[in-house]
Amino acid sequence: MREKKQNNNLNSFKELGIFFAFIIILAVLMILSPKAFARPANLINILKQASINGILAAGMMYVIISGGIDLSVGSIVALSGVIAASFAHPGEYPLIVPILLAVLAGSVVGLINGIGVAYGNIPPFIVTLGTMTIVRGVALIAARGQPVFNVTKEFEKISGGFIFGTIPNLVVYFVVITLVLAFVLTRTVFGRRVYAIGGNETAAKVSGINVEKIKLLVYTLCGFLAGIAGLLLASRIISGNPTSGQSYELDAIAAVIIGGVSMSGGSGKWYGTVIGALMIAVISNGLDILNVSSHFQLIIKGLIIIVAVLVDIKGKAKK
Protein backbone atom coordinates (compact mmCIF):
# COMPACT_ATOMS: atom_id res chain seq x y z
CA MET A 1 0.00 0.00 0.00
CA ARG A 2 2.94 2.29 0.56
CA GLU A 3 3.74 2.21 -3.09
CA LYS A 4 0.24 3.24 -4.00
CA LYS A 5 0.36 6.28 -1.81
CA GLN A 6 3.71 7.38 -3.12
CA ASN A 7 2.60 6.75 -6.66
CA ASN A 8 -0.43 8.95 -6.18
CA ASN A 9 1.68 11.64 -4.61
CA LEU A 10 4.03 11.52 -7.54
CA ASN A 11 1.18 11.70 -10.03
CA SER A 12 -0.56 14.56 -8.35
CA PHE A 13 2.73 16.35 -7.96
CA LYS A 14 3.35 16.02 -11.65
CA GLU A 15 -0.09 17.31 -12.45
CA LEU A 16 0.40 20.10 -9.98
CA GLY A 17 3.71 20.93 -11.61
CA ILE A 18 2.05 22.85 -14.39
CA PHE A 19 -0.15 24.70 -11.87
CA PHE A 20 2.91 25.65 -9.84
CA ALA A 21 4.71 26.91 -12.91
CA PHE A 22 1.65 28.91 -13.85
CA ILE A 23 1.26 30.39 -10.38
CA ILE A 24 4.96 31.21 -10.15
CA ILE A 25 4.82 33.06 -13.46
CA LEU A 26 1.70 34.91 -12.30
CA ALA A 27 3.37 35.81 -9.01
CA VAL A 28 6.53 37.03 -10.68
CA LEU A 29 4.55 39.23 -13.07
CA MET A 30 2.43 40.59 -10.23
CA ILE A 31 5.53 41.51 -8.27
CA LEU A 32 7.25 43.05 -11.26
CA SER A 33 4.24 45.05 -12.29
CA PRO A 34 1.70 45.21 -9.47
CA LYS A 35 -0.16 48.19 -10.88
CA ALA A 36 -0.59 47.25 -14.49
CA PHE A 37 -0.57 43.46 -14.51
CA ALA A 38 -2.54 42.60 -11.39
CA ARG A 39 -5.45 44.91 -12.16
CA PRO A 40 -8.74 42.95 -12.40
CA ALA A 41 -9.38 44.55 -15.77
CA ASN A 42 -6.08 43.22 -17.04
CA LEU A 43 -6.74 39.75 -15.68
CA ILE A 44 -10.05 39.67 -17.54
CA ASN A 45 -8.19 40.94 -20.56
CA ILE A 46 -5.82 37.97 -20.29
CA LEU A 47 -8.78 35.57 -20.29
CA LYS A 48 -10.06 37.35 -23.37
CA GLN A 49 -6.71 37.06 -25.08
CA ALA A 50 -6.55 33.36 -24.21
CA SER A 51 -10.06 32.60 -25.43
CA ILE A 52 -9.61 32.11 -29.19
CA ASN A 53 -6.42 30.11 -28.80
CA GLY A 54 -8.07 28.24 -25.93
CA ILE A 55 -10.96 27.16 -28.16
CA LEU A 56 -8.57 26.05 -30.91
CA ALA A 57 -6.42 24.25 -28.33
CA ALA A 58 -9.42 22.33 -27.02
CA GLY A 59 -10.05 20.86 -30.47
CA MET A 60 -6.35 20.27 -30.99
CA MET A 61 -6.25 18.41 -27.69
CA TYR A 62 -8.81 15.88 -28.94
CA VAL A 63 -6.82 15.37 -32.13
CA ILE A 64 -3.50 14.96 -30.31
CA ILE A 65 -4.94 12.59 -27.70
CA SER A 66 -6.31 10.48 -30.55
CA GLY A 67 -2.75 10.18 -31.84
CA GLY A 68 -2.95 12.78 -34.63
CA ILE A 69 -2.24 16.43 -35.36
CA ASP A 70 -4.16 19.16 -37.17
CA LEU A 71 -2.15 21.87 -38.92
CA SER A 72 -5.12 23.31 -40.79
CA VAL A 73 -6.85 25.16 -37.95
CA GLY A 74 -5.09 28.50 -38.60
CA SER A 75 -6.26 28.47 -42.21
CA ILE A 76 -9.77 27.46 -41.14
CA VAL A 77 -9.82 30.50 -38.86
CA ALA A 78 -9.08 32.69 -41.89
CA LEU A 79 -11.61 30.99 -44.17
CA SER A 80 -14.49 30.93 -41.72
CA GLY A 81 -13.72 34.56 -40.76
CA VAL A 82 -13.87 35.61 -44.40
CA ILE A 83 -17.11 33.70 -44.97
CA ALA A 84 -18.66 35.12 -41.82
CA ALA A 85 -17.74 38.70 -42.68
CA SER A 86 -18.93 38.31 -46.27
CA PHE A 87 -22.42 37.42 -45.07
CA ALA A 88 -22.50 40.01 -42.31
CA HIS A 89 -22.82 43.18 -44.35
CA PRO A 90 -25.54 45.49 -43.10
CA GLY A 91 -28.96 44.91 -44.54
CA GLU A 92 -28.25 41.56 -46.21
CA TYR A 93 -28.77 38.46 -44.07
CA PRO A 94 -29.87 37.82 -40.51
CA LEU A 95 -27.05 37.30 -38.01
CA ILE A 96 -27.60 33.55 -37.86
CA VAL A 97 -26.48 33.12 -41.47
CA PRO A 98 -22.83 34.21 -41.07
CA ILE A 99 -22.61 32.27 -37.80
CA LEU A 100 -23.88 29.01 -39.31
CA LEU A 101 -21.87 29.33 -42.50
CA ALA A 102 -18.62 30.01 -40.63
CA VAL A 103 -19.10 27.01 -38.37
CA LEU A 104 -20.19 24.85 -41.31
CA ALA A 105 -17.09 25.81 -43.31
CA GLY A 106 -14.83 24.79 -40.43
CA SER A 107 -16.69 21.51 -39.94
CA VAL A 108 -16.48 20.64 -43.63
CA VAL A 109 -12.71 21.16 -43.69
CA GLY A 110 -12.47 19.08 -40.52
CA LEU A 111 -14.57 16.36 -42.12
CA ILE A 112 -12.26 16.31 -45.14
CA ASN A 113 -9.26 16.01 -42.81
CA GLY A 114 -11.02 13.18 -41.04
CA ILE A 115 -11.82 11.32 -44.25
CA GLY A 116 -8.20 11.62 -45.38
CA VAL A 117 -6.83 10.38 -42.07
CA ALA A 118 -9.39 7.71 -41.22
CA TYR A 119 -10.34 6.27 -44.58
CA GLY A 120 -7.42 7.37 -46.77
CA ASN A 121 -4.91 6.21 -44.18
CA ILE A 122 -2.81 9.28 -44.94
CA PRO A 123 -0.69 10.47 -42.01
CA PRO A 124 -2.49 13.36 -40.24
CA PHE A 125 0.53 15.61 -40.61
CA ILE A 126 0.36 15.27 -44.40
CA VAL A 127 -3.42 15.56 -44.78
CA THR A 128 -3.66 18.67 -42.65
CA LEU A 129 -0.51 20.20 -44.14
CA GLY A 130 -2.27 19.88 -47.47
CA THR A 131 -5.59 21.28 -46.31
CA MET A 132 -3.77 24.05 -44.44
CA THR A 133 -2.38 25.26 -47.75
CA ILE A 134 -5.55 24.64 -49.77
CA VAL A 135 -7.85 26.32 -47.28
CA ARG A 136 -5.59 29.36 -47.06
CA GLY A 137 -5.84 29.59 -50.85
CA VAL A 138 -9.61 29.25 -50.74
CA ALA A 139 -9.81 32.01 -48.14
CA LEU A 140 -7.67 34.34 -50.25
CA ILE A 141 -9.78 33.64 -53.35
CA ALA A 142 -13.05 34.08 -51.46
CA ALA A 143 -11.89 37.43 -50.12
CA ARG A 144 -10.17 38.42 -53.39
CA GLY A 145 -6.98 38.87 -51.42
CA GLN A 146 -8.40 41.74 -49.38
CA PRO A 147 -9.90 41.88 -45.89
CA VAL A 148 -13.70 41.91 -45.93
CA PHE A 149 -14.94 44.99 -44.06
CA ASN A 150 -18.32 46.57 -43.44
CA VAL A 151 -20.03 44.22 -40.99
CA THR A 152 -23.11 44.85 -38.86
CA LYS A 153 -23.04 46.08 -35.28
CA GLU A 154 -24.64 42.82 -34.13
CA PHE A 155 -21.87 40.87 -35.76
CA GLU A 156 -19.31 43.01 -34.01
CA LYS A 157 -21.03 42.34 -30.71
CA ILE A 158 -20.57 38.54 -30.96
CA SER A 159 -17.05 38.96 -29.63
CA GLY A 160 -17.12 42.60 -28.63
CA GLY A 161 -20.07 42.42 -26.26
CA PHE A 162 -20.14 41.94 -22.50
CA ILE A 163 -22.24 40.00 -20.08
CA PHE A 164 -23.28 41.87 -16.92
CA GLY A 165 -21.40 44.78 -18.40
CA THR A 166 -18.02 43.44 -17.27
CA ILE A 167 -17.34 39.95 -18.54
CA PRO A 168 -16.46 39.87 -22.24
CA ASN A 169 -18.54 37.48 -24.33
CA LEU A 170 -15.33 35.84 -25.54
CA VAL A 171 -14.53 34.71 -22.01
CA VAL A 172 -17.98 33.22 -21.65
CA TYR A 173 -17.64 31.27 -24.92
CA PHE A 174 -14.22 30.03 -23.83
CA VAL A 175 -15.49 28.84 -20.45
CA VAL A 176 -18.64 27.19 -21.80
CA ILE A 177 -16.88 25.42 -24.68
CA THR A 178 -14.10 24.26 -22.38
CA LEU A 179 -16.52 22.83 -19.85
CA VAL A 180 -18.61 21.03 -22.45
CA LEU A 181 -15.52 19.54 -24.12
CA ALA A 182 -14.05 18.58 -20.75
CA PHE A 183 -17.25 16.72 -19.91
CA VAL A 184 -17.31 14.95 -23.27
CA LEU A 185 -13.66 13.97 -22.96
CA THR A 186 -13.77 12.64 -19.42
CA ARG A 187 -17.28 11.37 -18.99
CA THR A 188 -18.55 10.01 -22.28
CA VAL A 189 -17.94 6.84 -24.21
CA PHE A 190 -16.74 8.98 -27.13
CA GLY A 191 -14.10 10.66 -24.96
CA ARG A 192 -12.89 7.32 -23.64
CA ARG A 193 -12.57 6.01 -27.19
CA VAL A 194 -10.50 9.02 -28.20
CA TYR A 195 -8.02 8.05 -25.49
CA ALA A 196 -8.24 4.38 -26.45
CA ILE A 197 -7.35 4.85 -30.11
CA GLY A 198 -4.52 7.21 -29.20
CA GLY A 199 -3.21 4.75 -26.62
CA ASN A 200 -3.28 1.66 -28.79
CA GLU A 201 -5.11 1.77 -32.08
CA THR A 202 -4.79 -1.96 -32.81
CA ALA A 203 -6.11 -2.93 -29.39
CA ALA A 204 -8.96 -0.47 -29.85
CA LYS A 205 -9.87 -2.04 -33.18
CA VAL A 206 -9.75 -5.55 -31.76
CA SER A 207 -11.94 -4.34 -28.92
CA GLY A 208 -14.68 -3.57 -31.43
CA ILE A 209 -14.17 0.18 -31.59
CA ASN A 210 -14.93 1.78 -34.94
CA VAL A 211 -11.58 3.55 -35.10
CA GLU A 212 -12.33 5.27 -38.42
CA LYS A 213 -15.58 6.76 -37.17
CA ILE A 214 -13.98 8.12 -34.01
CA LYS A 215 -11.15 9.71 -35.99
CA LEU A 216 -13.61 11.26 -38.41
CA LEU A 217 -15.54 12.76 -35.50
CA VAL A 218 -12.38 14.04 -33.82
CA TYR A 219 -11.14 15.92 -36.90
CA THR A 220 -14.62 17.24 -37.62
CA LEU A 221 -14.88 18.48 -34.05
CA CYS A 222 -11.51 20.20 -34.37
CA GLY A 223 -12.60 21.86 -37.63
CA PHE A 224 -15.92 22.87 -36.08
CA LEU A 225 -14.13 24.59 -33.20
CA ALA A 226 -11.73 26.28 -35.61
CA GLY A 227 -14.80 27.54 -37.47
CA ILE A 228 -16.11 29.05 -34.23
CA ALA A 229 -12.69 30.55 -33.53
CA GLY A 230 -12.63 32.10 -37.01
CA LEU A 231 -16.09 33.59 -36.49
CA LEU A 232 -15.05 35.04 -33.14
CA LEU A 233 -11.83 36.46 -34.54
CA ALA A 234 -13.65 38.10 -37.46
CA SER A 235 -16.10 39.65 -35.04
CA ARG A 236 -13.26 40.86 -32.83
CA ILE A 237 -11.27 42.47 -35.63
CA ILE A 238 -14.54 43.63 -37.29
CA SER A 239 -13.51 42.13 -40.62
CA GLY A 240 -12.76 38.84 -42.36
CA ASN A 241 -9.05 38.80 -43.05
CA PRO A 242 -7.79 35.99 -45.34
CA THR A 243 -4.29 36.34 -43.93
CA SER A 244 -5.39 36.10 -40.31
CA GLY A 245 -4.85 33.01 -38.22
CA GLN A 246 -1.29 32.50 -39.45
CA SER A 247 0.54 30.11 -37.11
CA TYR A 248 -2.53 29.85 -34.88
CA GLU A 249 -2.21 26.08 -35.25
CA LEU A 250 1.20 26.28 -33.64
CA ASP A 251 -0.09 28.30 -30.70
CA ALA A 252 -2.84 25.73 -30.22
CA ILE A 253 -0.37 22.85 -30.36
CA ALA A 254 1.89 24.76 -27.94
CA ALA A 255 -0.95 25.18 -25.44
CA VAL A 256 -1.77 21.47 -25.62
CA ILE A 257 1.83 20.43 -25.13
CA ILE A 258 2.57 22.90 -22.34
CA GLY A 259 -0.50 21.40 -20.71
CA GLY A 260 1.19 18.00 -20.60
CA VAL A 261 -0.64 16.15 -23.37
CA SER A 262 1.66 13.59 -24.93
CA MET A 263 2.41 14.14 -28.63
CA SER A 264 2.23 10.38 -29.13
CA GLY A 265 -1.40 10.34 -28.04
CA GLY A 266 -3.40 8.42 -25.48
CA SER A 267 -2.84 10.65 -22.49
CA GLY A 268 -3.41 14.16 -21.24
CA LYS A 269 -5.82 16.17 -19.13
CA TRP A 270 -8.23 18.87 -20.29
CA TYR A 271 -7.30 21.29 -17.54
CA GLY A 272 -3.67 21.05 -18.61
CA THR A 273 -4.67 22.43 -21.99
CA VAL A 274 -6.61 25.25 -20.35
CA ILE A 275 -3.58 26.19 -18.27
CA GLY A 276 -1.42 25.92 -21.38
CA ALA A 277 -3.60 28.42 -23.23
CA LEU A 278 -3.74 30.73 -20.19
CA MET A 279 0.02 30.47 -19.75
CA ILE A 280 0.67 31.63 -23.30
CA ALA A 281 -1.70 34.56 -22.85
CA VAL A 282 -0.26 35.50 -19.45
CA ILE A 283 3.26 35.49 -20.76
CA SER A 284 2.59 37.65 -23.78
CA ASN A 285 0.41 40.01 -21.76
CA GLY A 286 2.98 40.25 -18.98
CA LEU A 287 5.86 40.77 -21.34
CA ASP A 288 3.90 43.45 -23.19
CA ILE A 289 3.34 45.28 -19.93
CA LEU A 290 7.03 44.95 -19.07
CA ASN A 291 7.82 46.42 -22.47
CA VAL A 292 9.67 43.35 -23.71
CA SER A 293 9.81 43.51 -27.49
CA SER A 294 7.67 41.05 -29.41
CA HIS A 295 10.86 39.64 -30.91
CA PHE A 296 12.10 38.59 -27.49
CA GLN A 297 8.66 37.27 -26.65
CA LEU A 298 9.00 34.68 -29.39
CA ILE A 299 12.22 33.39 -27.88
CA ILE A 300 10.69 33.17 -24.41
CA LYS A 301 7.59 31.38 -25.72
CA GLY A 302 9.72 28.84 -27.55
CA LEU A 303 11.83 28.18 -24.50
CA ILE A 304 8.75 27.60 -22.37
CA ILE A 305 7.44 24.98 -24.81
CA ILE A 306 10.71 23.09 -24.70
CA VAL A 307 11.02 23.31 -20.93
CA ALA A 308 7.42 22.13 -20.49
CA VAL A 309 8.02 19.03 -22.57
CA LEU A 310 11.36 18.41 -20.89
CA VAL A 311 9.69 18.49 -17.47
CA ASP A 312 7.02 16.15 -18.80
CA ILE A 313 9.57 13.65 -20.12
CA LYS A 314 11.63 13.75 -16.93
CA GLY A 315 8.50 13.27 -14.87
CA LYS A 316 7.56 10.20 -16.89
CA ALA A 317 11.09 8.76 -16.72
CA LYS A 318 10.94 8.83 -12.93
CA LYS A 319 7.81 6.73 -12.93
Partner 1 sequence: MKSDYVLEMKHIEKSFFGVKILNAVDLQVKPGEVHALIGENGAGKSSLMKILMGIYELDAGEIILNGEKVKFHNPKEALDHGVSMIHQELTPVLDMEVAENIFLGREIKHVNAGLMSLVDKKEQREQTASLFSKLGIDINPKLLMRDLSVAQIQLVEIVKAISLSAKIVIMDEPTSAITDKEIETLFEQITRLKNEGVAIIYISHKMDEIFRIADRITVLRDGHLICTDDANKLNKDQLIMMMVGREITEFFPKQTVEPDDVVLEVKNFCQKKKFQDINFSLRAGEIVGVAGLVGAGRSELVECIFGITHPTSGEIYLRGNKVNIRHPKDAIQNKIALVTEDRKYTGLNLKATVEHNISLVGINNLANYGVINRKNEAAAAEEQIEKMKIKVFSRKSMITSLSGGNQQKVVLSKWLLTEPDIIILDEPTRGIDVGAKRDIYLFMGELAKAGKAILMISSEIPELMGLSDRILVIAAGRLTGELKRNEFSQENIMRLASKFEAN
CB of 231 to partner 1, least distance (A): 27
Number of residues that bind partner 1 (CB under 8 A): 31
The total number of residues shown for the chain amounts to 319
Return the axis-axis angle of helices 73-86 and 248-258, rounded to nearest 10°: 130
Q: Which residues of 90-127 are buried (b: 16+ CB within 10 A; e: fewer)?
A: eeeeeeeebbebbbebbbbbbbbbbbbbbeeeeebeeb
State the binding string over 249-268 for partner 1 (x if CB under 8 A, else -). -------------x--xxx-
Burial class (CB in 10 A: 0-12, 13-18, 19+), 232: buried
As a whole number of Å, the end-to-end CA separation of the chain is 17
6 binds partner 1 (CB under 8 A): yes
Task: Determine how many CB atoms are found less than 10 A away from the CB of residue 147.
Answer: 17
CA–CA dist 80, 107 (Å, integer): 10
State the binding string over 161-190 for partner 1 (x if CB under 8 A, else -). --------------------------xxxx
Q: For partner 1, give the closer residue by CB, 3 or 295.
A: 3
309 binds partner 1 (CB under 8 A): no
Q: For partner 1, give the closer residue by CB, 67 or 245.
A: 67
State the binding string over 194-233 for partner 1 (x if CB under 8 A, else -). -xx-xxx-xxxxxxxxx-----------------------
CB of 9 to partner 1, least distance (A): 9
Give strand pairing partners of 148: 240
CB of 7 to partner 1, least distance (A): 6
Q: Which residues bind partner 1 (CB under 8 A)?
A: 1-4, 6-7, 10, 187-190, 192, 195-196, 198-200, 202-210, 262, 265-267, 319
